[in-house]
Structure 1
Amino acid sequence: MTAPAPLPPAAAGALDGAPRGRVEGLDAIRGVALLGIFLMNVEWFSRPMQELGLGPAAGLAPLDALAAWLVYALVQGKFWILFSLLFGMGFAVMQGRAQASPRPFAPAYARRLGMLLGLGVAHAVLLWPGDILHNYAIAGAVLLAFHGLEQRLLWVLGATLYLLLALLSLLGGALMAAAPALAPDTAVDAAAAAQAYVQGDFATVTAQRLSYFGGQLANEIAILPSILGVFLIGMWCVRSGVVVDPAAHRRVLMRMLGWGAPLGAALTALALWIALGAEAGSGGRYLALGVMLFANLPLALAYLAVLALAFARMPRLRAWLAPAGRMALTNYILQSLVASLVFYGYGAGLYGQIGRAGQCGLVLAVFAAQLVISRWWMGRFAYGPLEWLWRAATWLRWPPLRRAAADV
Structure 2
Amino acid sequence: METMELSAGSPSARPVDSAPVSQAERITALDAVRGFALLGILLMNIIPFSMYGGAYDNPTVTGGATGLNLMVWAILHVVAEGKMRCLFSLIFGASIVLLTSRLEKTGKAADIFYRRHLWLILFGIAHAYLLWLGEILYPYALCALILFPFRNMSARGLLIIGSLFLAGTSLAYMAQADETKETLEKGRAATAAEKSGKKLTEEQQEEKKEYDEWLKYHKPTAEQLQKDAKEWRGNPGEVIKARAQQVSDFHETAYYSPENWDIWSMMFLGMGLFKLGWLRGDKPASLYWKLALIGYGIGIPLNSWTAWAIIQSNFDPVQQTTFATTYDLGRFSVALGHLALIVLLCRSRSWDWLTTKLGAVGQTALSNYILHSILCSMIFTGYGLKLYGTMERYQVYGVVLLCWLVSLIVSPIWLRHYRFGPIEWAWRSLTYWKKQPLRRAEPAAIAEATST
TM-score by length of 1: 0.88
Cα deviation for residue 397 of structure 1 reads 0.6
Secondary structure of the corresponding residue to residue 384 of structure 2: coil
- Residues 28 and 323 of structure 1 are in contact (CA less than 8 Å); yes or no, is this contact kept in structure 2? yes
Residue 84 in structure 1 maps to residue 89 in structure 2: yes
Q: Which residue of 1 aligns with 2:264?
A: 228
Q: Which residue of 2 aligns with 1:3?
A: none
Q: Label 1:177 to 1:272 Cα distance change in 2 as closer, same or farther (>3 A).
A: farther
CA offsets 1:8-37 (integer angstroms, 9 cap, x no match):
74xx34898999697222211111112111
Quick check: 145-154 or 388-397, which moved more?
145-154
CA offsets 1:357-407 (integer angstroms, 9 cap, x no match):
111121112211111111111010000000001111111111110111797
Q: Which residue of 1 aligns with 2:99?
A: 94
Cα deviation for residue 113 of structure 1 reads 0.5
Q: Percent identity?
A: 26
Cα deviation for residue 238 of structure 1 reads 2.2
Equivalence map 1:141-220=2 (5 Å): 141-174=145-178, 176-177=180-181, 180-181=184-185, 185-188=213-216, 191=224, 194-216=228-250, 217-218=252-253
Quick check: 154-163 or 253-262, which moved more?
253-262
- Residues 67 and 360 of structure 1 are in contact (CA less than 8 Å); yes or no, is this contact kept in structure 2? no
CA offsets 1:74-114 (integer angstroms, 9 cap, x no match):
111000111121222222210111113x3622222111011
Residue 330 in structure 1 maps to residue 367 in structure 2: yes
Q: Which residue of 1 aligns with 2:427?
A: 390
- Whole-Å separation in 2 of the counterparts to 1:245 and 1:16: 22
Q: Which residue of 2 aligns with 1:400?
A: 437
Structure possessing the higher radius of gyration over alpha carbons: 2
Any stretches of 5+ residues in structure 1 without a counterpart?
Answer: 1-5
Q: Label 1:83 to 1:162 Cα distance change in 2 as closer, same or farther (>3 A).
A: same
- Whole-Å separation in 1 of the counterparts to 2:319 and 2:13: 46
- Whole-Å separation in 2 of the counterparts to 1:21 and 1:103: 20
Quick check: 324-333 or 159-168, which moved more?
159-168
Residue 296 in structure 1 maps to residue 331 in structure 2: yes
Cα deviation for residue 174 of structure 1 reads 4.7
Q: Label 1:88 to 1:169 Cα distance change in 2 as closer, same or farther (>3 A).
A: same
Quick check: 179-188 or 255-264, which moved more?
179-188
Cα deviation for residue 327 of structure 1 reads 0.4
Q: Label 1:22 to 1:307 Cα distance change in 2 as closer, same or farther (>3 A).
A: farther
Residue 372 in structure 1 maps to residue 406 in structure 2: no
- Whole-Å separation in 2 of the counterparts to 1:8 and 1:374: 28
- Whole-Å separation in 2 of the counterparts to 1:177 and 1:66: 27
Cα deviation for residue 200 of structure 1 reads 2.2
Amino acid at match of 1:146: F
Cα deviation for residue 66 of structure 1 reads 1.3
TM-score by length of 2: 0.80
CA RMSD of aligned residues (A): 2.9
Residue 73 in structure 1 maps to residue 78 in structure 2: yes
Cα deviation for residue 175 of structure 1 reads 5.3
Amino acid at match of 1:227: I
- Residues 86 and 331 of structure 2 are in contact (CA less than 8 Å); yes or no, is this contact kept in structure 1? yes
- Whole-Å separation in 2 of the counterparts to 1:229 and 1:139: 10
- Residues 271 and 292 of structure 1 are in contact (CA less than 8 Å); yes or no, is this contact kept in structure 2? no
- Whole-Å separation in 1 of the counterparts to 2:55 and 2:168: 20
- Residues 279 and 285 of structure 1 are in contact (CA less than 8 Å); yes or no, is this contact kept in structure 2? no
- Residues 270 and 291 of structure 1 are in contact (CA less than 8 Å); yes or no, is this contact kept in structure 2? no
Amino acid at match of 1:145: P
- Residues 154 and 272 of structure 2 are in contact (CA less than 8 Å); yes or no, is this contact kept in structure 1? no
Q: Label 1:366 to 1:164 Cα distance change in 2 as closer, same or farther (>3 A).
A: same
